Amino acid sequence: MLNNILKSNLFIIQTQTSNFIPFIKMPITVHVQSIQNEVLQKILDHYNKHKPDGEYPLEILNRTEGGFKIKLPTSIITQLSENSRLPDPNNEIRQLRWSRGKLVSRYYIGFTQEQELLLYNALVDALGQANVSM
């Protein structure tokens, strides 16, 4: 399992072999004013068709800003709830929220690099290369 440690825009990925791989995390930017429901469904379908077996599906984030979410495994939810004073539904999902045309995690649990790349590809498939950048 991958563990992401946020340090500004620099993330360190720790793999099962304890190798550290640095990479710069860039937000996904969409260059359209709005996305129709049919296009959102196409994004979800593309992502979920290509996601690794055993991973939870991509879903629409039901927050004011909108965005996308992926449920966290129960074991991680349990660990987070043990370290928290109050239950927080944001600690049960990975999420990217819309902010000025970008998908950002801010202080919430974001997607892994692999999940973001797959979402990027789904957005490109649905909206076209000219309308999506990273």
Rounded Cα–Cα distance for residues 14 and 16 (Å)? 7
The answer to whether position 90 is within a domain reads yes
> Which tens digits make up the pLDDT trace of 33-83?
999 999 999 999 999 999 999 999 999 999 999 999 999 998 888 887 777
Rounded Cα–Cα distance for residues 98 and 23 (Å)? 22
Rg (the chain; Cα; Å)? 15
Count of CB atoms situated within 10 Å of the CB of 126: 22
The answer to whether position 21 is within a domain reads no
- Whole-prediction pTM value? 0.78
- Tell me how many domains the chain contains: 1
Which phi and psi (to 5°) does residue 32 adopt? -130, 155
pLDDT for the residue 24: 52
Rounded Cα–Cα distance for residues 36 and 70 (Å)? 21
Burial 46-77 (b: 16+ CB within 10 A, else e): bbeeebeeebeebeebeeeeebbbbebeeebe
pLDDT for the residue 78: 81
The answer to whether position 19 is within a domain reads no
The answer to whether position 81 is within a domain reads yes
Which residue segment(s) compose the domain that 120 sits in?
A: 26-133
Rounded Cα–Cα distance for residues 20 and 17 (Å)? 9
The answer to whether position 88 is within a domain reads yes
The answer to whether position 46 is within a domain reads yes
The answer to whether position 71 is within a domain reads yes
The answer to whether position 47 is within a domain reads yes
> Which tens digits make up the pLDDT trace of 10-19?
444 444 444 4
